[in-house]
Protein backbone atom coordinates (compact mmCIF):
# COMPACT_ATOMS: atom_id res chain seq x y z
CA UNK A 1 0.00 0.00 0.00
CA UNK A 2 1.64 3.14 -1.23
CA UNK A 3 1.34 6.45 0.53
CA UNK A 4 0.64 9.84 -0.97
CA UNK A 5 3.79 11.33 -2.49
CA UNK A 6 5.50 8.00 -3.08
CA UNK A 7 7.33 7.49 -6.41
CA UNK A 8 4.66 5.03 -7.53
CA UNK A 9 1.87 7.52 -6.83
CA UNK A 10 3.71 10.30 -8.66
CA UNK A 11 4.32 8.03 -11.65
CA UNK A 12 0.67 6.98 -11.70
CA UNK A 13 -0.51 10.60 -11.55
CA UNK A 14 1.84 11.59 -14.39
CA UNK A 15 0.57 8.72 -16.54
CA UNK A 16 -2.99 9.82 -15.79
CA UNK A 17 -2.26 13.34 -16.96
CA UNK A 18 -0.70 12.03 -20.19
CA UNK A 19 -3.69 9.77 -20.82
CA UNK A 20 -6.11 12.66 -20.36
CA UNK A 21 -4.04 14.85 -22.67
CA UNK A 22 -3.89 12.14 -25.33
CA UNK A 23 -7.45 10.79 -25.32
CA UNK A 24 -9.71 13.51 -23.91
CA UNK A 25 -10.14 15.13 -27.34
CA UNK A 26 -12.88 14.42 -29.88
CA UNK A 27 -15.56 15.36 -27.35
CA UNK A 28 -14.52 12.64 -24.86
CA UNK A 29 -15.06 13.54 -21.24
CA UNK A 30 -12.47 13.36 -18.49
CA UNK A 31 -14.61 10.85 -16.60
CA UNK A 32 -14.60 8.31 -19.46
CA UNK A 33 -10.84 8.57 -19.99
CA UNK A 34 -10.21 8.37 -16.25
CA UNK A 35 -12.47 5.33 -15.82
CA UNK A 36 -10.76 3.27 -18.51
CA UNK A 37 -7.30 4.43 -17.40
CA UNK A 38 -7.94 3.37 -13.82
CA UNK A 39 -9.41 0.06 -15.01
CA UNK A 40 -6.26 -0.51 -17.06
CA UNK A 41 -4.08 0.22 -14.04
CA UNK A 42 -6.21 -2.16 -11.98
CA UNK A 43 -5.80 -4.88 -14.61
CA UNK A 44 -2.02 -4.39 -14.59
CA UNK A 45 -2.00 -4.57 -10.80
CA UNK A 46 -3.96 -7.81 -11.02
CA UNK A 47 -1.43 -9.27 -13.44
CA UNK A 48 1.39 -8.17 -11.15
CA UNK A 49 -0.38 -9.84 -8.23
CA UNK A 50 -0.58 -13.09 -10.22
CA UNK A 51 3.08 -13.00 -11.31
CA UNK A 52 4.82 -11.49 -8.29
CA UNK A 53 4.54 -12.82 -4.74
CA UNK A 54 2.27 -10.63 -2.64
CA UNK A 55 0.90 -10.69 0.88
CA UNK A 56 -2.22 -8.72 -0.10
CA UNK A 57 -5.35 -10.84 -0.46
CA UNK A 58 -7.36 -10.76 -3.67
CA UNK A 59 -10.41 -9.28 -1.95
CA UNK A 60 -8.35 -6.47 -0.44
CA UNK A 61 -6.68 -5.75 -3.78
CA UNK A 62 -10.03 -5.61 -5.59
CA UNK A 63 -11.45 -3.40 -2.86
CA UNK A 64 -8.57 -0.95 -3.22
CA UNK A 65 -8.97 -0.92 -7.01
CA UNK A 66 -12.75 -0.37 -6.83
CA UNK A 67 -12.40 2.46 -4.35
CA UNK A 68 -9.78 4.18 -6.49
CA UNK A 69 -11.73 3.74 -9.73
CA UNK A 70 -14.91 5.13 -8.20
CA UNK A 71 -13.24 8.08 -6.47
CA UNK A 72 -11.16 9.07 -9.52
CA UNK A 73 -14.12 8.73 -11.89
CA UNK A 74 -16.34 10.78 -9.60
CA UNK A 75 -13.72 13.53 -9.31
CA UNK A 76 -13.21 13.55 -13.10
CA UNK A 77 -16.96 13.75 -13.67
CA UNK A 78 -17.15 16.71 -11.28
CA UNK A 79 -14.36 18.38 -13.24
CA UNK A 80 -16.33 17.73 -16.44
CA UNK A 81 -19.36 19.48 -14.99
CA UNK A 82 -17.22 22.51 -14.14
CA UNK A 83 -15.59 22.58 -17.58
CA UNK A 84 -18.99 22.34 -19.26
CA UNK A 85 -20.12 25.52 -17.55
CA UNK A 86 -16.88 27.53 -17.42
CA UNK A 87 -14.15 28.25 -19.95
CA UNK A 88 -10.70 29.50 -19.00
CA UNK A 89 -9.45 32.14 -21.43
CA UNK A 90 -5.68 31.90 -21.06
CA UNK A 91 -5.05 34.72 -23.53
CA UNK A 92 -7.02 37.25 -21.50
CA UNK A 93 -6.63 35.58 -18.15
CA UNK A 94 -10.39 35.40 -17.55
CA UNK A 95 -12.99 32.77 -16.78
CA UNK A 96 -16.21 33.05 -18.75
CA UNK A 97 -19.39 31.05 -19.05
CA UNK A 98 -19.75 28.55 -21.86
CA UNK A 99 -22.75 29.28 -24.10
CA UNK A 100 -22.84 26.07 -26.15
CA UNK A 101 -22.59 22.74 -24.34
CA UNK A 102 -21.12 19.64 -25.97
CA UNK A 103 -23.72 16.87 -26.32
CA UNK A 104 -21.30 13.96 -25.87
CA UNK A 105 -19.36 15.51 -23.00
CA UNK A 106 -22.56 16.50 -21.19
CA UNK A 107 -24.03 13.02 -21.50
CA UNK A 108 -20.82 11.29 -20.37
CA UNK A 109 -20.41 13.63 -17.42
CA UNK A 110 -24.02 13.22 -16.27
CA UNK A 111 -24.00 9.42 -16.58
CA UNK A 112 -20.60 9.13 -14.91
CA UNK A 113 -21.45 11.38 -11.99
CA UNK A 114 -24.80 9.63 -11.49
CA UNK A 115 -23.58 6.02 -11.60
CA UNK A 116 -20.17 6.57 -10.01
CA UNK A 117 -21.74 8.82 -7.37
CA UNK A 118 -24.34 6.19 -6.47
CA UNK A 119 -21.68 3.46 -6.26
CA UNK A 120 -19.41 5.68 -4.16
CA UNK A 121 -22.21 6.55 -1.74
CA UNK A 122 -23.08 2.87 -1.40
CA UNK A 123 -19.44 1.98 -0.79
CA UNK A 124 -18.93 4.74 1.78
CA UNK A 125 -22.08 3.71 3.61
CA UNK A 126 -21.01 0.07 3.72
CA UNK A 127 -17.51 1.00 4.88
CA UNK A 128 -19.01 3.08 7.67
CA UNK A 129 -21.10 0.10 8.74
CA UNK A 130 -18.00 -2.10 8.61
CA UNK A 131 -16.29 0.16 11.14
CA UNK A 132 -19.34 -0.09 13.40
CA UNK A 133 -19.44 -3.88 12.97
CA UNK A 134 -15.73 -4.11 13.82
CA UNK A 135 -16.32 -2.08 16.97
CA UNK A 136 -19.05 -4.53 18.00
CA UNK A 137 -16.83 -7.44 17.03
CA UNK A 138 -14.04 -6.11 19.22
CA UNK A 139 -16.40 -6.01 22.20
CA UNK A 140 -17.56 -9.56 21.47
CA UNK A 141 -13.93 -10.71 21.28
CA UNK A 142 -13.15 -9.08 24.62
CA UNK A 143 -16.19 -10.77 26.17
CA UNK A 144 -15.20 -14.14 24.64
CA UNK A 145 -11.63 -13.84 25.98
CA UNK A 146 -12.89 -12.94 29.43
CA UNK A 147 -15.25 -15.93 29.37
CA UNK A 148 -12.55 -18.50 28.57
CA UNK A 149 -12.55 -21.09 31.36
CA UNK A 150 -8.79 -21.63 31.34
CA UNK A 151 -7.61 -18.12 30.59
CA UNK A 152 -5.59 -17.99 33.83
CA UNK A 153 -3.62 -21.03 32.74
CA UNK A 154 -2.63 -19.73 29.27
CA UNK A 155 1.07 -19.86 28.56
CA UNK A 156 2.67 -16.50 27.64
CA UNK A 157 3.90 -16.09 24.08
CA UNK A 158 1.92 -19.17 22.99
CA UNK A 159 -0.34 -19.07 19.98
CA UNK A 160 -3.99 -20.08 20.56
CA UNK A 161 -7.08 -20.08 18.34
CA UNK A 162 -10.39 -18.47 19.32
CA UNK A 163 -13.60 -19.79 17.82
CA UNK A 164 -16.66 -17.53 17.99
CA UNK A 165 -20.26 -18.03 16.95
CA UNK A 166 -20.95 -16.42 13.58
CA UNK A 167 -17.27 -16.25 12.59
CA UNK A 168 -16.19 -18.98 10.19
CA UNK A 169 -12.41 -18.65 10.56
CA UNK A 170 -10.81 -19.08 14.00
CA UNK A 171 -8.77 -16.08 15.10
CA UNK A 172 -5.26 -16.43 16.53
CA UNK A 173 -4.41 -14.81 19.85
CA UNK A 174 -1.42 -14.69 22.20
CA UNK A 175 -1.19 -13.77 25.86
CA UNK A 176 1.73 -11.48 26.70
CA UNK A 177 2.91 -8.71 28.99
CA UNK A 178 2.15 -5.08 28.23
CA UNK A 179 5.82 -4.28 27.74
CA UNK A 180 6.10 -6.87 24.97
CA UNK A 181 3.23 -5.72 22.74
CA UNK A 182 5.34 -4.96 19.68
CA UNK A 183 7.51 -8.07 19.94
CA UNK A 184 4.48 -10.35 20.34
CA UNK A 185 2.50 -8.46 17.72
CA UNK A 186 5.13 -9.33 15.13
CA UNK A 187 4.22 -12.99 15.61
CA UNK A 188 0.64 -12.20 14.55
CA UNK A 189 1.60 -9.75 11.79
CA UNK A 190 0.33 -6.72 13.73
CA UNK A 191 1.84 -3.27 13.45
CA UNK A 192 -0.75 -1.35 15.45
CA UNK A 193 -2.85 -2.13 18.50
CA UNK A 194 -6.40 -1.17 19.34
CA UNK A 195 -7.90 -1.25 22.80
CA UNK A 196 -11.30 0.03 21.69
CA UNK A 197 -10.54 3.72 21.99
CA UNK A 198 -12.78 5.65 19.54
CA UNK A 199 -10.44 8.64 19.34
CA UNK A 200 -8.02 6.79 17.09
CA UNK A 201 -8.01 8.69 13.78
CA UNK A 202 -6.82 5.69 11.78
CA UNK A 203 -9.78 3.42 12.56
CA UNK A 204 -11.49 4.35 9.25
CA UNK A 205 -8.55 3.07 7.22
CA UNK A 206 -8.54 -0.38 5.65
CA UNK A 207 -4.81 -0.67 6.24
CA UNK A 208 -5.30 -0.02 9.95
CA UNK A 209 -7.77 -2.88 10.39
CA UNK A 210 -5.67 -5.30 8.34
CA UNK A 211 -2.50 -4.65 10.37
CA UNK A 212 -4.14 -4.22 13.76
CA UNK A 213 -4.53 -6.48 16.80
CA UNK A 214 -7.18 -6.24 19.48
CA UNK A 215 -5.76 -5.61 22.95
CA UNK A 216 -7.79 -7.33 25.69
CA UNK A 217 -6.58 -6.83 29.27
CA UNK A 218 -6.29 -9.93 31.48
CA UNK A 219 -4.52 -9.12 34.74
CA UNK A 220 -2.34 -6.31 36.07
CA UNK A 221 0.31 -6.43 33.36
CA UNK A 222 -1.11 -9.24 31.18
CA UNK A 223 -2.99 -8.67 27.92
CA UNK A 224 -4.21 -10.77 25.03
CA UNK A 225 -3.39 -9.83 21.44
CA UNK A 226 -5.88 -11.13 18.88
CA UNK A 227 -5.62 -10.65 15.11
CA UNK A 228 -9.02 -10.12 13.34
CA UNK A 229 -7.34 -10.09 9.93
CA UNK A 230 -9.38 -12.90 8.37
CA UNK A 231 -12.60 -11.47 9.81
CA UNK A 232 -11.84 -8.04 8.31
CA UNK A 233 -11.16 -9.61 4.92
CA UNK A 234 -14.48 -11.48 5.11
CA UNK A 235 -16.35 -8.26 5.88
CA UNK A 236 -14.79 -6.46 2.92
CA UNK A 237 -15.61 -9.46 0.75
CA UNK A 238 -19.27 -8.89 1.55
CA UNK A 239 -18.92 -5.23 0.54
CA UNK A 240 -17.43 -6.25 -2.80
CA UNK A 241 -20.39 -8.53 -3.46
CA UNK A 242 -22.69 -5.56 -3.02
CA UNK A 243 -20.69 -3.02 -5.02
CA UNK A 244 -19.70 -5.24 -7.96
CA UNK A 245 -23.13 -5.01 -9.67
CA UNK A 246 -22.82 -1.23 -9.59
CA UNK A 247 -19.30 -1.47 -11.00
CA UNK A 248 -20.57 -3.75 -13.78
CA UNK A 249 -23.34 -1.26 -14.54
CA UNK A 250 -20.83 1.59 -14.60
CA UNK A 251 -18.59 -0.39 -16.97
CA UNK A 252 -21.48 -1.11 -19.34
CA UNK A 253 -22.52 2.54 -19.18
CA UNK A 254 -19.02 3.73 -20.07
CA UNK A 255 -18.78 1.26 -22.96
CA UNK A 256 -22.18 2.41 -24.18
CA UNK A 257 -21.04 6.03 -23.96
CA UNK A 258 -17.98 5.21 -26.05
CA UNK A 259 -20.15 3.60 -28.74
CA UNK A 260 -22.60 6.49 -28.55
CA UNK A 261 -19.80 9.02 -28.95
CA UNK A 262 -18.45 7.11 -31.93
CA UNK A 263 -21.89 7.21 -33.56
CA UNK A 264 -22.24 10.93 -32.83
CA UNK A 265 -18.88 11.67 -34.42
CA UNK A 266 -19.76 9.55 -37.46
CA UNK A 267 -23.09 11.36 -37.88
CA UNK A 268 -21.30 14.68 -37.60
CA UNK A 269 -18.78 13.66 -40.26
CA UNK A 270 -21.52 12.49 -42.65
CA UNK A 271 -23.52 15.69 -42.23
CA UNK A 272 -20.42 17.87 -42.56
CA UNK A 273 -19.39 16.08 -45.75
CA UNK A 274 -22.88 16.52 -47.19
CA UNK A 275 -22.85 20.20 -46.26
CA UNK A 276 -19.48 20.80 -47.84
CA UNK A 277 -20.60 19.11 -51.08
CA UNK A 278 -23.91 20.95 -51.35
CA UNK A 279 -24.68 21.99 -54.89
CA UNK A 280 -21.57 20.44 -56.42
CA UNK A 281 -23.01 17.25 -57.86
CA UNK A 282 -26.16 15.14 -58.03
CA UNK A 283 -26.07 12.55 -55.24
CA UNK A 284 -27.01 9.08 -56.45
CA UNK A 285 -25.61 6.94 -53.62
CA UNK A 286 -27.13 8.03 -50.33
CA UNK A 287 -24.92 7.54 -47.23
CA UNK A 288 -26.50 6.56 -43.94
CA UNK A 289 -26.12 8.06 -40.48
CA UNK A 290 -26.15 5.96 -37.28
CA UNK A 291 -29.04 7.83 -35.69
CA UNK A 292 -32.55 7.99 -37.14
CA UNK A 293 -32.89 11.74 -36.61
CA UNK A 294 -29.57 12.40 -38.31
CA UNK A 295 -30.47 10.00 -41.12
CA UNK A 296 -33.76 11.80 -41.73
CA UNK A 297 -31.98 15.15 -41.75
CA UNK A 298 -29.41 13.75 -44.18
CA UNK A 299 -32.17 12.49 -46.48
CA UNK A 300 -33.86 15.89 -46.52
CA UNK A 301 -30.54 17.57 -47.14
CA UNK A 302 -29.70 15.26 -50.06
CA UNK A 303 -33.15 15.83 -51.59
CA UNK A 304 -32.63 19.59 -51.36
CA UNK A 305 -29.16 19.20 -52.87
CA UNK A 306 -30.44 17.17 -55.83
CA UNK A 307 -33.26 19.65 -56.46
CA UNK A 308 -30.83 22.54 -56.35
CA UNK A 309 -28.41 20.78 -58.71
CA UNK A 310 -31.27 20.02 -61.15
CA UNK A 311 -32.41 23.66 -61.21
CA UNK A 312 -28.81 24.82 -61.52
CA UNK A 313 -28.20 22.53 -64.48
CA UNK A 314 -31.39 23.73 -66.18
CA UNK A 315 -30.41 27.32 -65.58
CA UNK A 316 -26.96 26.77 -67.04
CA UNK A 317 -28.47 24.99 -70.04
CA UNK A 318 -30.85 27.86 -70.72
CA UNK A 319 -28.07 30.41 -70.43
CA UNK A 320 -25.92 28.49 -72.89
CA UNK A 321 -28.85 28.26 -75.34
CA UNK A 322 -29.48 31.99 -75.11
CA UNK A 323 -25.79 32.73 -75.66
CA UNK A 324 -25.67 30.45 -78.68
CA UNK A 325 -28.72 32.12 -80.19
CA UNK A 326 -27.27 35.55 -79.63
CA UNK A 327 -24.03 34.61 -81.33
CA UNK A 328 -25.62 32.87 -84.39
CA UNK A 329 -25.02 34.29 -88.02
CA UNK A 330 -27.48 36.86 -89.38
CA UNK A 331 -28.29 34.80 -92.53
CA UNK A 332 -29.32 31.85 -90.37
CA UNK A 333 -31.43 34.17 -88.29
CA UNK A 334 -33.17 35.60 -91.32
CA UNK A 335 -33.89 32.09 -92.58
CA UNK A 336 -35.18 31.15 -89.22
CA UNK A 337 -37.30 34.28 -89.00
CA UNK A 338 -39.01 33.46 -92.23
CA UNK A 339 -40.20 30.13 -90.88
CA UNK A 340 -41.06 31.33 -87.41
CA UNK A 341 -42.64 34.65 -88.30
CA UNK A 342 -46.09 33.28 -87.69
CA UNK A 343 -45.20 32.29 -84.16
CA UNK A 344 -42.68 34.83 -82.99
CA UNK A 345 -43.63 37.86 -85.05
CA UNK A 346 -39.97 38.39 -85.97
CA UNK A 347 -38.85 38.66 -82.38
CA UNK A 348 -36.51 35.64 -82.72
CA UNK A 349 -34.06 37.54 -84.90
CA UNK A 350 -34.26 40.57 -82.66
CA UNK A 351 -32.49 38.61 -80.00
pLDDT digits (tens, 9 = 90+) for 321-337: 888 888 865 544 444 44
In this predicted structure, the answer to whether residue 21 has a pLDDT above a threshold of 50 is: yes
Contact 9, 89 (CB under 8 A): no
In this predicted structure, the answer to whether residue 190 has a pLDDT above a threshold of 60 is: yes
Question: Mean pLDDT across the stretch 35-52?
Answer: 78
Question: Mean pLDDT across the stretch 178-183?
Answer: 83
More confident: 31 or 343: 31
- pLDDT for the residue 165: 74
In this predicted structure, the answer to whether residue 311 has a pLDDT above a threshold of 50 is: yes
pLDDT category of residue 198 using cuts at 50, 70 and 90: low
162 beta partners: 171
Q: Give per-residue pLDDT as tens, 291-304.
A: 788 888 888 888 88
Question: Mean pLDDT across the stretch 107-117?
Answer: 84
In this predicted structure, the answer to whether residue 5 has a pLDDT above a threshold of 50 is: no
Question: Mean pLDDT across the stretch 226-244?
Answer: 84
- pLDDT for the residue 57: 67
pLDDT category of residue 56 using cuts at 50, 70 and 90: low
In this predicted structure, the answer to whether residue 342 has a pLDDT above a threshold of 60 is: no
Amino acid sequence: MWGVGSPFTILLASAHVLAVHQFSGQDRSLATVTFFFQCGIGALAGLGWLVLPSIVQTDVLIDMAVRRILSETLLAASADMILLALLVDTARGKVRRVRNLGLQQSLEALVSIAVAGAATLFLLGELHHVNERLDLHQRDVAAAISALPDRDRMQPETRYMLRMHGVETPMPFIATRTDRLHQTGMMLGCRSFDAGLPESGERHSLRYWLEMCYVVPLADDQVVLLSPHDHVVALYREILRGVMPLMAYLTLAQIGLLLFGRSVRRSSRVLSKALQGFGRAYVTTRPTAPFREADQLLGSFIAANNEFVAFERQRVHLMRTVEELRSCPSTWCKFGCGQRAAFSGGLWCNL
